[in-house]
Amino acid sequence: MNYILNTLANGVRVVTVPMRERTSASVAVWVRTGSRYESEKAAGISHMLEHMVFKGTETRTTRQIKQEVEGVGGMLNAYTAEESTCYFAKLLREHYPKALDVLADMVNHATIVSSEFERERGVILEEIKMYRDQPSHYVHELIGELLWPHQAIGRPISGSIESVSAMKRSDVLEYRDRYYRPKNILVAISGGVHPEDVVPRVEALFSAKEPGQASSFEKAISRQSGPRTHFLLKDTEQTHFVVGLHGLARSSPHRYPLGLLNVILGANMSSRLFEEVREKRGLAYEIRSGLHFFDDTGAFTVSAGVETAKAPQAMAVIMRELGKVCRKPVSEQELRRAKDYFISQLSMALEDTLEHLLWVGEYALCRQKLPDCDKIRANVEAVTAVQIQQIAVQLFRTANLNLALIGPVKAALEKKIRAEFEIPV
């Protein structure tokens, strides 16, 4: 793909992804800030600010913001992550200047009115409570706290009830002024647009802002000397758990073997975990593995929801599969299927203007460079079965294990689960 990267005089970066055959276009504005940039006292402030940006500007009400994009058939949304915040829209290509204008207005001129702030505080508090009532979601927050205890990267992105309750409007304004600066901003546009039109439009909307300082966060501490566990006793229909291990940073040269290892173990219905846990034994409806990449660290996770009495058996199968991939290289046929799946998923995602944009934009924001699709495919094709085994041996160590669990697990059953979890892999 012919990606185009420009940098304005004040530091705002602009990425254009021409997809001329598409009738749609997608627009996104990233800010390099998220939960990793927050103090414990201010936990959740990035997420709060994301919500408040939608609540009106100097020239648009919250209703007008939504109507200007949705009124021409588009969609408008945002997300907050550990290392970035993103505002995005997708609509027909002829309307992309409107979406760009709306997003720029939101990011640059949100008013954050006191009455709206207090109302949204209540919304976010309910959001936190809602997710705590969903064990399949909440257990992933618990695993983050185990992987990175007492660190910003391990805290929930939405913050805590205590931190959100104590947050002030002035705190949010100060945070916005500190981080929503040009050197932290990246604007990206994809789809059937004219590349020569993009930079002048972005420059007209963002050039007035002073550069400011690029943001930074404390390095993660990912060392641990033994398994960590958190069992939360709760009266639920299922027991939900996540096995988590420290992984790799997003720029690690070993990320491609790890990506294929994830496909082989639990990324789809052909995976080993799906086959062993669900298909052969019927222990879970959903069983999957996942990868999380950050600037300086990462995580590999396996999550499932099972009948409580069968949790020890499910744990035993999972740990056995983690051990098996350490002891024996995968077959050439399995490796070929994993490579085809990895490359095909990437290729199909790049057909969509929004998926393509979110991938390229985050890549450029976090890695300070543009992706090379041909090089990525070549790197995937170059991975060997031995390299996958080596990365499994490196990561799947007993001392590196973490387990978060939510369910009606009493002492005797907990002992059985622990016995299966802490066996050497």
Same domain, 115 and 185: yes
Considering the domain architecture, whether residues 105 and 160 belong to the same structural domain is answered as yes
**Chain mean position to CA 338:** 22
Distance between CA atoms of residues 337 and 159, nearest Å: 40
Do 59 and 28 lie in a common domain? yes
Which of 21, 38, 40, 50 is an active site residue?
50
- Verify that 297 and 386 share a domain, yes or no: yes
Residue 16 lies inside a defined structural domain of this protein: yes
The predicted model scores a pTM of: 0.95
So what's the pLDDT on residue 214?
84
Distances (CA, A) of 397 to 197, 263, 287, 299: 52, 20, 21, 13
**Do 354 and 293 fall within a single domain?**
yes
Cβ within 8 Å of residue 336, ≥6 positions away? none
Q: Take residue 56 and report the two structure tokens written for it.
A: 């009106």
For the CA atoms of 362, 364, 368, 372, what is the dihedral angle to 10 degrees? 120
Residue 103 lies in a domain: yes
In a domain, 192, yes or no: yes
Written as one string, the DSSP assignment of 312-337 is: HHHHHHHHHHHHHHHHSPPPHHHHHH
**Domain-located, residue 240:** yes
Q: Is 18 helix (H, G, I), strand (E, B) or coil?
A: strand
User: 340 and 239 in one domain?
Assistant: yes
Instruction: Please report, for the domain that includes residue 186, its CATH number.
Output: 3.30.830.10
Region of residue 382 (phi > 0: left; psi between -120 and 50: alpha; otherwise: beta): alpha
Q: Which residues contact 202 (CB under 8 A, 6 or more apart)?
A: 8, 12, 14, 100, 104, 187, 189
Cα end-to-end span (Å), the chain = 42
Structural domains in the chain (count)? 2
87 is a domain residue:
yes
**Strands 85-92 and 401-407, how do they pair?**
unpaired
Q: Are strands 401-407 and 228-233 parallel, antiparallel or unpaired?
A: parallel
Give the per-residue pLDDT at 278: 98
- List, in sequence order, every beta strand (DSSP E) within 138-227: 185-191
Phi, psi of 281 (to 5 degrees): -120, -10
The reply to whether 346 and 414 lie within a common domain is yes
Distance CA 271, CA 398 (A): 23
- Domain span including residue 143: 4-206
Together in a domain, 163 and 261:
no
Q: Residue 115: inside a domain, yes or no?
A: yes
Per-position pLDDT tens, the chain of length 425: 689 999 999 999 999 999 988 999 999 999 999 999 999 999 999 999 999 999 999 999 999 999 999 999 999 999 999 999 999 999 999 999 999 999 999 999 999 999 999 999 999 999 999 999 999 999 999 999 999 999 999 999 999 999 999 999 999 999 999 999 999 999 999 999 999 999 999 999 999 888 877 888 999 999 999 999 999 999 999 999 999 999 999 999 999 999 999 999 999 999 999 999 999 999 999 999 999 999 999 999 999 999 999 999 999 999 999 999 999 999 999 999 999 999 999 999 999 999 999 999 999 999 889 999 999 999 999 999 999 999 999 999 999 999 999 999 999 999 999 999 986 65
In the prediction, which pLDDT does 308 show? 97
Tokens 């829209």, residue located: 89
Distances (CA, A) of 41 to 51, 251, 334, 359: 19, 30, 48, 32
| Same domain as 170, residue 26 | yes
β-partners of residue 284 are 306
Same domain, 196 and 232: no
Residue 170 backbone dihedrals phi, psi, to 5 degrees: -65, -30
Q: Are residues 372 and 338 in the same domain?
A: yes
What number of residues does the chain have?
425
**Domain membership flag for residue 357:** yes
CA-to-CA distance for 422 and 425, rounded, in angstroms?
Answer: 8
Contact between residue 400 and residue 224 where contact means Cβ atoms under 8 Å apart: yes
At residue 208, the pLDDT reads 83
Using the 3D structure, point to which of 206, 239, 271 is the last residue of a domain: 206
Residues 202 and 5: their CA atoms lie apart, in Å, by: 13
Chain-centre distance of CA 16, in angstroms?
A: 22
**Lookup: tokens for 297:** 């660290």
Token pair belonging to 192: 């059937």
Are 19 and 173 in contact by the 8 Å Cβ rule? The answer is no
The secondary structure element, H or E, covering residue 266 is helix 255-266
Please give the Cα distance from 62 to 53 (Å, whole number). Answer: 9
127 annotated active-site? no
What residues have CB less than 8 Å from 348, skipping those under 6 apart? none
Residue 221 lies in a domain: no
Beta strands in 19-73 (DSSP E): 24-31
Q: What is the structure's pLDDT at 213? A: 79
Residue type, 106: M
DSSP readout, 171-192?
HHHHHHHHHSSGGGEEEEEEES
* Same-domain status, 194 and 234: no
